[in-house]
Amino acid sequence: MNRLVLRRPDDWHLHLRDGAGLAAVLPPTADVFGRALVMPNLVPPVTTVDAALAYRDRIRAALPAGSRFRPLMALYLTEATSPETLEAAAAHPDIAAVKLYPAGATTNSDAGVRDPSVLGELYAVMERTGLVLCVHGEVTDPHVDIFDREAVFLETVLAPILERHPGLRVVVEHATTAQAVQFVRSAGDTVAASLTAHHLLMSRNALFEGGIRPHRYCLPILKREEHRIALLEAAISGSPKFFLGTDSAPHARHRKEAACGCAGMYTSPVAMGLYAEAFENAGEIQRLEHFASLAGPAFYGLPPNDDTITLVRQEQVVPETLPFGDDVIVPIRAGGVVRWRVEPARS
């Protein structure tokens, strides 16, 4: 197969940053995706409905003329978040989720939650209103091995919360382990997971291919091959519980190529091509539409997009760097080739 027409996809986990960075990274997403759930880990974090709507407006203002792209916003949960804030968020059509970052777990998570188990009053509001809780599911205990942090979080943090709040709608963001796949599969239909393209394509060996590869460092960190295979099986399974979330997370090159480089891979310019590769490698490219365009909106209670995109099997060379404000950014596969690309819309 060399061409694939599919319903326009959505990205259920995206970092757009702000200011000049936002202007630089928004177009590739807006060209391809109908909607994206925009992560709130700005500095300072997006903790109120007003801040989320102001951020939404800055995104809209940065859109190319005529774009139909719709940003959906997520609120950053803190220990100071009030039930009233969540009630207001649940009532607003442009706010689709609340994001739980364990404090210190990832980029810009310092304002996150030290002990997620104490927020029962807030989970009760989400349970009652149906407001989705997206979680960065990793424990932060430095004694827990970095490769085990997701599995330990699911067992020791999320499972008890779900026991107390069985109606809570939860997305395990950027799931990276076989344990996460199993956890989501065996939970009720209120629990789902987003999957990145990079975790479907790379195992932890890719971090050290010929030397240390800072642009392949993200959190949760790449795992063993057996986990990658479990994620790919989930993605192609046709289950409504697994859907596309790129976690495209741009950082200026000097912040990645550093003695202490930050976590995040920039994937959005080639994201659909990468997902197509992963599904094609698994011999299931015709399942891509369900994963990319149908399962996510169904979970979030939204209709699928009403138009289509066309993927063509045509190699594209990925630029070595891309502009990022006054800086540059190194995208995933920089200097390499991606096997599929999105056909530009005819104007």
Q: Which structure tokens are listed for 88? A: 């207001």
Q: How far apart are CA 340 and CA 244, in angstroms?
A: 17
- The residue (of 184 and 309) whose beta carbon lies closer to ligand NCD is 184
- The residue (of 63 and 263) whose beta carbon lies closer to ligand NCD is 263
Give which of Zn ion, ligand NCD, none residue 277 binds (C-beta under 5 to 8 Å, depending on kind). none
Amino acid at 321: T
Q: Is 219 one of the binding residues for ligand NCD (CB under 6 A)?
A: yes
Instruction: By CB under 6 A, name the one of 245, 264, 297, 331 that touches ligand NCD.
Output: 264
Q: Which structure tokens are listed for 41? A: 């880990």
Q: How many CA atoms lie within 13 A of 45 on its CB side?
A: 24
φ, ψ of residue 346 to 5 degrees: the values are -75, 140
Edge to edge, the sheet with strand 341-342 lists 3-7, 308-312, 341-342
- The residue (of 10 and 247) whose beta carbon lies closer to Zn ion is 247
Q: How far apart are CA 98 and CA 75, in angstroms?
A: 5
| 50 catalytically annotated | no
Give which of Zn ion, ligand NCD, none residue 107 binds (C-beta under 5 to 8 Å, depending on kind). ligand NCD
Q: Is 29 one of the binding residues for ligand NCD (CB under 6 A)?
A: no
- Minimum CB–partner distance for residue 217 and ligand NCD (Å): 7
Which of 10, 18, 110, 247 does the annotation list as catalytic?
247
Amino acid at 226: E
Sign of CA dihedral 6, 284, 25, 38: positive
Q: Is 268 one of the binding residues for ligand NCD (CB under 6 A)?
A: no
Q: How far apart are CA 45 and CA 78, in angstroms?
A: 9
Of 91-130, binders to ligand NCD (CB under 6 A) are 106-107
- The residue (of 89 and 105) whose beta carbon lies closer to ligand NCD is 105
Q: Is 176 one of the binding residues for ligand NCD (CB under 6 A)?
A: no
- Minimum CB–partner distance for residue 347 and ligand NCD (Å): 33
- DSSP per-residue string spanning 199-239: HHH--GGGGGSSS--GGG--SSPP--HHHHHHHHHHHHT--
Task: Give buried/exposed letters for 128-145 (b at 16+ CB in 10 A, else e).
Answer: eeebbbbbbbbbbeeebe
- Minimum CB–partner distance for residue 337 and Zn ion (Å): 26
Of 284-343, binders to ligand NCD (CB under 6 A) are none
Give which of ligand NCD, Zn ion, none residue 194 binds (C-beta under 5 to 8 Å, depending on kind). none
Which residue has the CB atom at the shortest distance from Zn ion? 136
Q: Is 177 one of the binding residues for ligand NCD (CB under 6 A)?
A: no
Which sequence positions are flagged as catalytic? 247
Where on the chain is the footprint of ligand NCD (CB under 6 A)? 15, 41, 106-107, 136, 218-219, 247, 249, 263-264
